[in-house]
Amino acid sequence: MNSLHISRYEVPVDCKLDPYIFVPGLFHGETAQGFWTVTYVPQTTQTRPYNQHTFTSLALKQLL
């Protein structure tokens, strides 16, 4: 795809997904058109302390 308004996304080396999904696309509409792009966000782990709360098993299941 050649366009002055959109650039190709460089897929990171650690990404195990098919590189084809990162190719920019064009949506065709009745009155307007638009581009869509995909970017890779590496997996991260977040931890939050819950020191002052008591949880039931139901509350823990809802958090997951």
pLDDT digits (tens, 9 = 90+) for 15-25: 888 888 888 88
pTM for this one? 0.47
Range of the domain at 23: 1-41
d(CA 20, CA 25): 11
What is the Rg, in whole angstroms, of the alpha carbon atoms belonging to the chain?
20
Indicate whether 31 belongs to any domain.
Answer: yes
Indicate whether 52 belongs to any domain.
Answer: no
pLDDT of res. 3: 62
pLDDT of res. 44: 87
Say whether pLDDT at 50 is over 80. no
- Number of structural domains, the chain? 1
Does residue 4 sit in helix, strand or coil? coil
Say whether pLDDT at 2 is over 80. no
The mean pLDDT value of the chain amounts to: 79
